[in-house]
Structure 1
């Protein structure tokens, strides 16, 4: 995929940044990042329409001065970039996520992940948190769905912890290919599928959905309908201020909130189906 970066410069910075973030959150932006003078927002090139920002009121406000510039973010060789910066990730002393070029560790669970052009190495707060929560979860004989699988690391962890079966779904062909490669690296098996929520066909005991707020809200009815009664679903990929929206939509779909944790303002939340 090719992404477009919107770099917004905002004055005064606050509450301007919070207002802009709230408005942009209603659009198909996939991630946001604060910087010293404003906000960075990223969107799939296919979603970057000419009238995208037409209804963003703060851009027309006399109280704030907001300007922006756009940059196309080309796909990069993540293998090369990763080797420059990547260090092993240690989760709860029991699990290590490392690259093929790192030596094997003494961890109870030793996962080898090499990204192709995909997300999910354990460095991001969302991946780390769900990995941490999965170490608490009973995965034995569970049918698992890794939705928006990226590198496949979460499903691989569930597999190693005794899952009966794991399906992996992602809209990005790079992620599908990368997950297949990482399954082989870790001697795991699974069904890797290209697509979105429309590709969910089975029932699952455990669903892992680390995507973004807008997709989680849009597709929650599908996730919930394919989760067995008493099943568990983990949501992540959204900010702490969005947790209430996730909880409200989950409740509409028969999902009861159990708990959540926060790391660097990113949330991982656990729900179960009534």
Structure 2
């Protein structure tokens, strides 16, 4: 089957109307993409931030081809579209098309991230088998890679690790495969908790990983069911990282280590300041690829025990 795509470029305040009009005309699906190069950082659950200028694409089946141009022009006028155009889209195996975008990637020190349907290129390496579609943290994002690189430089033998903001669970799973004894993973998104458990099963480390929502984790830690950690990984966003600083300090052993990511250069000093009463964050590293060079991580040790 030949499909028809109608593309509209318009401002974000007109998107809701444009979506409604496309659905009224029989669009089978609608997708949004950035019309420029405006970064959007990982949203909190319930938030759906949009770019200022958006390309909206409606997918129609072949029988709409005869009047798709008329539909395009009519909707473009109603939503003040800056551009409007149509394209044909050949049918394909969409599941395989989606899977084709993911390939095994090598991180530092012989650590690989491998999509669950593929064979590891190097069976003797440390291979993390992941489902890229479940939650944030596939290993392809610079912030995840920064934390994975940091983990491979640590001596994790027998360590207790807390992964706060675990997403897919990739950092905790990596820690276990690199020698950690036990990982406690935490995320505010129930889907992330589920994804972490499933990925832990996939990597045969589920018996050493426990995943929690924050309130359940806090109760377990407060009851003494979760010991103080040797390491904390927190790949979130600057604002929640700053809010969490005093709490994360209570979760570490004296001289325990922490890595923070999800940061851009303009946020580094504010995050350092938030952690300064308890931590010495003397480690700083940025991603070395030009397209992702705005991402940074901070790392350091707990130097002052919280009172």
Give me the TM-score of the superposition, normalised by structure 1.
0.71
1:211 to 236, 244, 269: 236
2:266 to 218, 241, 244: 241
Matching residue of 1:194: 213
Residues in 2 aligned to 1:45 and 1:175: alpha-carbon distance in whole angstroms:
11
Contact 1:258 1:270 in 2 (8 A): yes
Q: Following superposition of structure 1 onto structure 2, how do residues 218-233 of structure 1 map, counting pairs within 5 Å?
A: 218-233=243-258
Contact 1:167 1:191 in 2 (8 A): yes
Assess, with a 3 A threshold, how the Cα gap between structure 1 residues 174 and 37 changes in structure 2: closer, same or farther.
Answer: closer
Q: Following superposition of structure 1 onto structure 2, how do residues 64-83 of structure 1 map, counting pairs within 5 Å?
A: 83=99
2:187 to 170, 191, 199: 170
1:113-151 Cα shifts (integer Å, max 9, x gaps) = 103431001110010011011110011111100111111
Matching residue of 2:83: none
Assess, with a 3 A threshold, how the Cα gap between structure 1 residues 68 and 82 changes in structure 2: closer, same or farther.
Answer: closer
Residues in 2 aligned to 1:137 and 1:218: alpha-carbon distance in whole angstroms:
26
Moved over 6 A (4+): none
Residues in 1 aligned to 2:103 and 2:127: alpha-carbon distance in whole angstroms:
14
Aligned length in residues: 221
1:8-45 Cα shifts (integer Å, max 9, x gaps) = 79xxxxxxxxxxxxxxxxxxxxxxx9973756567447
Residues in 1 aligned to 2:257 and 2:45: alpha-carbon distance in whole angstroms:
34
Matching residue of 1:122: 139
1:258 to 273, 278, 282: 282
Structure 2 unpaired stretches of 5+: 1-10, 14-32, 57-94
Matching residue of 1:92: 108
Assess, with a 3 A threshold, how the Cα gap between structure 1 residues 242 and 99 changes in structure 2: closer, same or farther.
Answer: same
1:81-131 Cα shifts (integer Å, max 9, x gaps) = 851311111012501101111112235201101034310011100100110
Assess, with a 3 A threshold, how the Cα gap between structure 1 residues 40 and 137 changes in structure 2: closer, same or farther.
Answer: closer
Please give the secondary structure, in 2, of the residue aligned with 1:110: strand
Residues in 2 aligned to 1:34 and 1:249: alpha-carbon distance in whole angstroms:
33
1:230-263 Cα shifts (integer Å, max 9, x gaps) = 10000001102211111111102x1001211101
Matching residue of 1:131: 148
Matching residue of 1:140: 157
Assess, with a 3 A threshold, how the Cα gap between structure 1 residues 223 and 42 changes in structure 2: closer, same or farther.
Answer: closer
Please give the secondary structure, in 2, of the residue aligned with 1:133: helix
1:167-204 Cα shifts (integer Å, max 9, x gaps) = 01111111111111111111103111123684672421
Structure 1 unpaired stretches of 5+: 1-6, 10-32, 53-66, 72-78
Shift of 1:228: 1.1
Give the alignment's Cα RMSD to 1 decimal: 3.0
Assess, with a 3 A threshold, how the Cα gap between structure 1 residues 205 and 101 changes in structure 2: closer, same or farther.
Answer: same
Is residue 2:300 matched to residue 1:271? yes
Shift of 1:269: 1.2
